[in-house]
Structure 1
Amino acid sequence: MPRKSKSVNIQLVAEEAGVSLASVSRVLNNHPDVSEALRRQVLAVMEKNNFTPDKSVERLLRISVVVGVGDITDYVATILTGMGLAANTEGIELSIQRCSGRLPLLRACRLWRSNGVALISGTEWLSEIPEVADSGIPCMLIETPLERENVGYLCHDSRRAMQQMLNYVHSLGHRRIAYLEADPPNRSYQNRLDAYRELMESIGESPDAFRIPPYPVGHIDGIGRDKEAGYQQTMQLLSSYPGVTAIVCANDEIAFGCYKACAEKGVRIPEDVSVVGCDDQSFARFLSPGLTTIRLPLTYMGRRAIQCLGDFLRGNQTALPKEHLLRELVIRNSAAPPCQTKINGANCSRMKRK
């Protein structure tokens, strides 16, 4: 009768693969000092013999969450919150990695001993994902759809989300609508900008007449999509385009900065100008007035990404999900019909909205 202990099973794998027991152990533990050729050789024998590690190994799953250098914004932090909640529940070791690009992504994953990888807005690594997935490391992508085996994604449609917001603003009667851009212009932000330009063209306005480019100084490393960027962009807007009746912000953080600039200039929201955002960050409902925005399921996305990776790695599901998630227009008090006297360049005397 063949013996069934874990050590014997590993020994049989080592003998058939023609490698040492230590080599098999390093493969099982995702050690970085193992060549891809050796790794594939051992994994092929394991698959042939239907060998899987026991549950003591399963409890040691390591999932690396990869974000860009200088890219821990409130948006990303909300996703990370969901990931952390799932990791605690699922008994998964979670590590947050800031990949600088100095190493190939696969090499970095080996150094991190990653069983699985979750990438947030990982456009810059998109070309490297196939190599990581082919190596046997499953990947979950947030906001970056990629049709590939061993890869899943959770996304929302940024273009449609912004279209929904813009249609609402236009339905209030606004035509002189400004847009505060975000930088760097990843796929999500580019889709939001495209939706704005399309709306302006459709109503007979120039798509670039009230478009304010990103301010090049943000929270770190010159990223222009945070509160400071929004503040500076709004100061530029108010001095250059006094006839604007609505300001659409690429995200809620930019809107936060917009509020401060308006307050300093004595511009009332929404009496003098309507302001809207996108993402529904935690602070949006606490602003005064509450920020009208698009709610995206960020915490849910983070939680589900880790849960799905854990289930996939443990063999509880056969494929990673590829999903486009729903969005919701959240109407608060920061947007109202435009003031006609404001449009004509005079001070607005509209009654304050209740």
Structure 2
Amino acid sequence: MPRKSKKINIRLVAEEAGVSLASVSRVLNNHPDVSEALRRQVMAVVEKNNFTPDKSVERLLRISVIVGVGDITDYIATILTGMGLAANAEGIELSIQRYTGRLPLLRACRLWRCNAVAVISGTEWLDEISALAASGIPCMLINTPLEGERIGYLCSNSYHAALQMLKYVHSQGHRRIAYLGAEPPNRSYQDRMRAYGEFMESIGEAADSLLVPPYPVGHIDGIGRDKEAGYQQTMQLLSRAPDVTAFVCANDEIAFGCYKACFDSGLRIPDDVSVVGCDDQSFAKYLSPGLTTIRMPLTYMGRRSIHILGDYLRGKLAVLPQEHLPAELVIRNSAASPSPGA
């Protein structure tokens, strides 16, 4: 009578891998003091035997949310809110990590002892994210499309969002439409700028005459600079092209600064000039007048990214999804037909 095969357990994993129980435990618990060679050796046995640790491990899932150095902007905070809601519902330990680049990202993740990572706008780390996934750490990216095994992403379609807004502003009767950009130009900002250039060409307007050099944005120095970018660019454009009748802003914080510049210049919104934004951040509806903008599903993206990683880590998903999500035009009172003679 054939002998029954033994049910795989941590001791048998250690025997087959030719390592100690302690080594297997350190690998399964993402201990940082484990070489990548040992980690691969143990995980090869784990995957070959479809070994799942004790159920208690499910309560110890750790996901690190990686953001750049600087303050948490309203944009990032909205995504994090969704992530936090999902982590609470899933019983997942969530940590926010400021990645400085001083260590390789893989080494940093080992030190954080995370099972997976969620990356918010990680365009500058694409090579390291690919290496991270190749090492066995699954990654979900927000608004940064990247192909690869163990890599998923949820992206809003910035090009179509900007095009939707431009068509709306043009339908109000505007042709002299200025664009307030952002620096550095990440993928989303590049897509919005491309939509602007192509749209202006389609209506026979020279986009270059309604642009000024992008002003630095972000929170690198502890001070939110997006609003200042909107203010400075608006003031430059008003002096350079006083016949502008509408400002399309790369994000809502830039639009906020544009509001202040218009006020300081004695212009009424929307009577004298229209201003529109993008993202539908929390303050947009409280501006006076309320800001017409594009609503990106930021909270949903944050929440769903964590649910996806939880399902993937628990074996309920075989592949991380890669999706582009639709945006919604939110019409308030900051855009109207240009005044007669404009």
TM-score when normalising by structure 2:
0.95
C-alpha deviation, 1:213, in angstroms: 2.3
Partner SS for 1:50? coil
Contact 1:177 1:246 in 2 (8 A): yes
1:262 match: 262
Matches within 5 A, 1:191-340: 191-216=191-216, 219-221=219-221, 226-340=226-340
C-alpha deviation, 1:224, in angstroms: 8.2
Distance 1:149 1:202 in 2: 39
Identity across the alignment (%): 78
Partner SS for 1:155? strand
1:123 match: 123
How far does the alpha carbon of each residue in 1:230-273 deviate from its partner, in whole angstroms, 9 at most, with x for none? 12222222222211000010000100111112122221000000
Residues 218, 298 of structure 1: alpha-carbon distance in 2 compared, 3 angstrom cutoff: closer
Contact 2:252 2:279 in 1 (8 A): yes
Distance 1:272 1:89 in 2: 48
Distance 1:184 1:267 in 2: 29
- Gapped runs of 5+ residues in structure 1? 344-354
Distance 1:224 1:9 in 2: 52
Distance 1:314 1:97 in 2: 23
Contact 1:225 1:251 in 2 (8 A): no
Residues 217, 156 of structure 1: alpha-carbon distance in 2 compared, 3 angstrom cutoff: closer
C-alpha deviation, 1:222, in angstroms: 9.1
Distance 2:171 2:225 in 1: 27
Matches within 5 A, 1:38-57: 38-57=38-57
How far does the alpha carbon of each residue in 1:141-200 deviate from its partner, in whole angstroms, 9 at most, with x for none? 111112211111101111111000001111111111111111110000011011111111
2:37 match: 37
2:146 match: 146
Distance 1:176 1:64 in 2: 45
Distance 1:280 1:94 in 2: 26
Distance 1:224 1:291 in 2: 19
Residues 122, 318 of structure 1: alpha-carbon distance in 2 compared, 3 angstrom cutoff: same
How far does the alpha carbon of each residue in 1:103-138 deviate from its partner, in whole angstroms, 9 at most, with x for none? 111111111111000011111111122211121110
2:63 match: 63
Distance 1:218 1:79 in 2: 16
C-alpha deviation, 1:3, in angstroms: 7.6
Distance 2:271 2:339 in 1: 7
TM-score when normalising by structure 1:
0.92
**Letter aligned with residue 328 of structure 2:** E
Residues 30, 74 of structure 1: alpha-carbon distance in 2 compared, 3 angstrom cutoff: same
My pick for the range that moved more, 71-80 or 284-293, is: 71-80
Distance 2:208 2:224 in 1: 19
1:108 match: 108
Partner SS for 2:237? helix
Distance 1:225 1:185 in 2: 14
